[in-house]
Structure 1
Amino acid sequence: MLSQKTIDIVKSTVPVLEEHGTKITKRFYQMMFENHPELLNIFNHANQRKGRQQTALANTVYVAAVYIDRLEEIIPVVKQIAHKHRSLGVKPEHYPIVGENLLAAIKDVFGDAATDEIINAWAEAYGVIADAFIGVEKEMYDAAGWDDFIPFSVVQKVKESDEITSFYLKPVDNRALPSFIPGQYISLKLDQIPGEEYTHIRQYSLSDVPGRDYYRISVKREKDGFHPDGVVTNFLHDQINEGDQLLASAPAGDFTIEIDSNDPIVLLAGGVGTTPLMSMMNHVLETQPEREIVMVQAVRNGQVHAFREDILAKNLNHPTLQYYACYSAPTDEDKQEGRFHKEGFVTKEWLDEIVPNVAKSQFYFCGPVSFMKHIYATLKEMGVSENQIHFEFFGPSMSIQQPEEVLAN
């Protein structure tokens, strides 16, 4: 329990955190990696390079300061981050390292304003926040059944489009796989990539239903392998084949379908954002065949349209499933063969036409950041309430309301 004095001191730093939060977290990561380079084996270098991780942490620190007297109100945020931590293998022994470097970064950025009183208050507050994370993560590790990465064998590799390939994974020791909730992901840990000094860990959505003796992930090839965001995906596409082994974590993530609800669902997928939504769609079709589904895929053209034939077949066999494709740049062949329902981008007018019951539907969407921000703004324009909206960023959380230039990928 924090004293009122500590709470007041922490809250007094909120304006500075609002203005200089990202500067603090940039300094934090710089200091931590200099002092503990082994942690470069855990963090995503691409997100570091893009500044997304620094921004996400700055937002978390700011929210923690604002709600320091009502920490129970940020438990959903704690759980969301804890899912990611559990999937990365973050352990209790990492928290003192983070605390030491975070306090040093605050002191460095605050300068003369970083009095002993402020640093001591933040040290006390950090201890309480860290204990909350450690407790939540312990429950997640216990529920998962294992707390490390275990070897899986690639039993099947299937090309889904020019950009996306599926990998079917079975545990080498033939253990029973823990179930998962559609929408969750697993982490892959790769330490065998040629020319890479550090281990890379990446999260990939599970793209099939739970209850199978395998996990399926469907991975998009990035444009090149020379930047951190393309190294891992291109290695999987080019170097990993059937019979090879990969290290994987147990499923995690809080972007999950409400399996106990009968509300109609609308699944809006941009590009590879289809992957968690495929799991949701297939699970509902198997377990709740009477539940209404609208599935929308927004892609550039037919060459990069993954799972098209699979979804079309299900569309024919399940009258409760309505399926639509939106192509932003269809080829002449796409137009001749009528492979899509709308050219351009997903719009309010189109969704009003194809979604039978906007007021009662639950909306789930995933894809490139620009696509998601566009979809969110469109849903709000349609009058969809916040409790009907569910989404997940691939990577660190960020604002859903900032405008972007490109709408689909």
Structure 2
Amino acid sequence: MATLTPSQVQIIKATVPVLAEHGNSITTKMYADMIDANPDLRNIFNHTHQATGHQARALAGALLAYAAHIDDLGVLSPALQLICHKHVSLYIRAEHYDIVGANLLESMKTVLGEAGTSHTMDAWGAAYRQLANTMISKEDGMYQSAGWHGWKEFYLARKVRESEDITSFYLMPVEAKLMIPVYKPGQYVSVRVKVDELDGGVWQARQYSLSDAPGQDHVRISVKKEPSIEIAGPKHMAHKGYVSNMLHEHKSEGDVIRVSHPFGDFYFEDKDEDKDAPVVLISAGVGLTCLMSILNTLVQEKSSRLISWIHGARDSDTRAFRKHVDALAANNERVRAVYFDSNPKDGEVEGQHFDVRGRIDLDKIGKDVLFIDNDKTQYFACGPAQFMLDVDAKLRSYGVPAERVKLELFGTGGVPRA
């Protein structure tokens, strides 16, 4: 694989301030021009993330980080791993990198104007190819190790309402011979459906955590029905979440849905050296889905670990899996559950219907529930980005090192962790 010359490395590092100022303009133009010229890509890219600008911002941030660490790319390894898992779950291939690269460089040259000299553009062309080759190689390895290739048809075997806005979908393969892999608890699949209201019909894929233990004849995803998506800001609620609403409103038992192989770099792994370490699962809202897979796995395997389940919801109507978790805790002395309600319903009593009023605050939980004194305790958190950053910061203030805290953010990009 070709490497950048020392002078090209210096050029890339010199563009960091420019990318900090103009990166989002570059990537916004790139996506618009690229999709106009390649309309088939509408079937790959998330329409909502395009409309909100979330995908452009995520790519701009990734480019800035790449430029800033061009001479120490090992720092970016966790971020690249996360992106590669998302790519393979959407079946991104090498030819897509060529299209993105050509459009990125063209947009960069246009936005930079006179600053986009031939030397600058040559350096970025080499830098992009280096990054693309690294990711293509990683993703090829993931494709080769997967149990199946391409989108597979699964039928909806059962549809179960878990809360006011979360429903579980039990999916079984149409092909009788298709083996469901023993995925790692915490991973996800992509679900692909055709959205007729988008430009006469566009395929859209969304990633949903597998919400049950592996090793069964089905996979289960538990999906929140998104009532609206912000396009231009909090006051401009443009449309419902396309895929989540289609699953909730238009998919019935027996219907066929396209599903990817399981992927994801957020998962629980039972290592020999910490088999007795406690596990603390902290979630807000629909963030509980990936942690439910971890909880069910630990209980199913009769783990000797102590387990704390800490969940925050608006009220009892929006708390999914409450009965299931309570039953696990009642029948397993190693499992303990703590519930926060941010806006309890009339008649709900603290200490009876929930444990603590308000949003999750770890200071309001006993240290015996968080197992802070055990230097092997593993923490898993999932929910909105700010929620996870607050949890991470609080655990660090307790002396928990970052490597024992795993965070999962749904959507494009990762958690903007300090």
Shorter-normalised TM-score: what interval? over 0.9
Which residue in 2 is equivalent to 1:320?
334
State how far apart, in whole Å, the 2-side matches of 1:345 and 1:390 are: 20
Write the mapping of 1:260-299 to structure 2, written as runs, cut at 5 A: 260=271, 261-262=274-275, 263-287=277-301, 289-299=303-313
Q: Is the 8 A contact 1:376 1:400 kept in 2?
A: no
Q: Is the 8 A contact 1:348 1:382 kept in 2?
A: no
Cα deviation, residue 72, structure 1: 3.5
TM-score by length of 2: 0.91
Q: Is the 8 A contact 2:11 2:120 kept in 1?
A: yes
* Structure-2 change in CA distance of 1:333 and 1:203 (3 Å): same
Deviation readout 1:349-371 (Å, 9 max, x if unpaired):
21344525214322111112343
State how far apart, in whole Å, the 2-side matches of 1:86 and 1:52 are: 20
* Structure-2 change in CA distance of 1:397 and 1:3 (3 Å): same
Q: Is the 8 A contact 1:208 1:282 kept in 2?
A: yes
Which residue in 2 is equivalent to 1:62?
64
* Structure-2 change in CA distance of 1:395 and 1:39 (3 Å): same
Which residue in 1 is equivalent to 2:220?
216
Letter paired with 2:254? G
Report how many residues are paired: 402
Which residue in 2 is equivalent to 1:380?
396
Does residue 91 of the first structure (1) align with residue 93 of the second (2)?
A: yes
* Structure-2 change in CA distance of 1:217 and 1:193 (3 Å): farther
Deviation readout 1:343-393 (Å, 9 max, x if unpaired):
112223213445252143221111123432332333233333211221111
Deviation readout 1:247-266 (Å, 9 max, x if unpaired):
00001110111321332111
Which residue in 2 is equivalent to 1:254?
265
* Structure-2 change in CA distance of 1:72 and 1:348 (3 Å): closer
State how far apart, in whole Å, the 2-side matches of 1:275 and 1:122 are: 40
Please state whether the residue corresponding to 2:62 is helix, strand or coil. helix
Which residue in 2 is equivalent to 1:17?
19
Deviation readout 1:15-37 (Å, 9 max, x if unpaired):
21122222221121112112212
Q: Is the 8 A contact 2:27 2:56 kept in 1?
A: yes
State how far apart, in whole Å, the 1-side matches of 2:285 and 2:221 are: 15
Cα deviation, residue 146, structure 1: 2.3
Letter paired with 1:223? P
- Which of 351, 357, 380 is equivalent to 2:365? 351
Deviation readout 1:95-141 (Å, 9 max, x if unpaired):
11000011011111111010011111111111111111111111111
Q: Is the 8 A contact 1:207 1:216 kept in 2?
A: yes
| Residue segments in structure 2 that go unaligned for 5+ positions in a row | 230-236
Which residue in 2 is equivalent to 1:406?
none
Cα deviation, residue 64, structure 1: 1.5
Which residue in 1 is equivalent to 2:48?
46
Which residue in 1 is equivalent to 2:189?
186
Write the mapping of 1:297-316 to structure 2, written as runs, cut at 5 A: 297-316=311-330
Bigger mean CA offset, 216-225 vs 153-162 = 216-225
Please state whether the residue corresponding to 2:92 is helix, strand or coil. coil
Which residue in 1 is equivalent to 2:31?
29
Please state whether the residue corresponding to 2:191 is helix, strand or coil. strand
Please state whether the residue corresponding to 2:212 is helix, strand or coil. coil
Cα deviation, residue 269, structure 1: 1.0
Q: Is the 8 A contact 2:350 2:357 kept in 1?
A: no
Bigger mean CA offset, 375-384 vs 209-218 = 375-384
- Which of 175, 179, 184 is equivalent to 1:176? 179
- Aligned residues: percent identity? 38
State how far apart, in whole Å, the 2-side matches of 1:253 and 1:333 are: 41
Which residue in 1 is equivalent to 2:234?
none
Letter paired with 1:89? Y
* Structure-2 change in CA distance of 1:356 and 1:12 (3 Å): closer
Bigger mean CA offset, 261-270 vs 190-199 = 190-199
Which residue in 2 is equivalent to 1:78?
80
Q: Is the 8 A contact 1:22 1:55 kept in 2?
A: yes
Please state whether the residue corresponding to 1:335 is helix, strand or coil. coil
Does residue 244 of the first structure (1) align with residue 255 of the second (2)?
A: yes
Deviation readout 1:316-349 (Å, 9 max, x if unpaired):
1111111111111111243289221111122232
Q: Is the 8 A contact 1:377 1:401 kept in 2?
A: no
Letter paired with 1:338? Q
Deviation readout 1:273-303 (Å, 9 max, x if unpaired):
0100000111112225211111011001111
* Structure-2 change in CA distance of 1:76 and 1:337 (3 Å): closer
